[in-house]
Amino acid sequence: MTTPPRFTRHRFTVVLGDPEADEVTEHHVIAIGADVQRVETLFADKGWGDMAKRPIASASALAYFALRRAGGFEGSFDDFQNAYIEVRPEGTQTVNPTDAAPATD
């Protein structure tokens, strides 16, 4: 019997905008493996070193790539760094893609 495939989803709440102008939007995203790979490439290209040693930069980059993939942000990473107010990691979840989806409200 084979072990079913499992993967980890990283959930983030991303707050973008200008709090002084009272223009703020909140997005909820889930990062996937492709987003992690893009973060690794970004860190290598920028010479930023080990992702594990830069948790804030890692989380913001991971949230950026997830948000961009989901269509919630169209600008560059530099644009994102100027626009984001907060990136809140909401945890991880290991899932089996063959399991039934959880019920939603």
Give pLDDT tens digits for 33-88: 899 899 999 999 999 999 889 999 999 999 999 999 999 999 999 999 988 899 98
Measured distance CA(105)–CA(65) in Å, rounded = 27
Q: Where are the domains of the chain?
A: 7-87
The reported pTM is 0.77
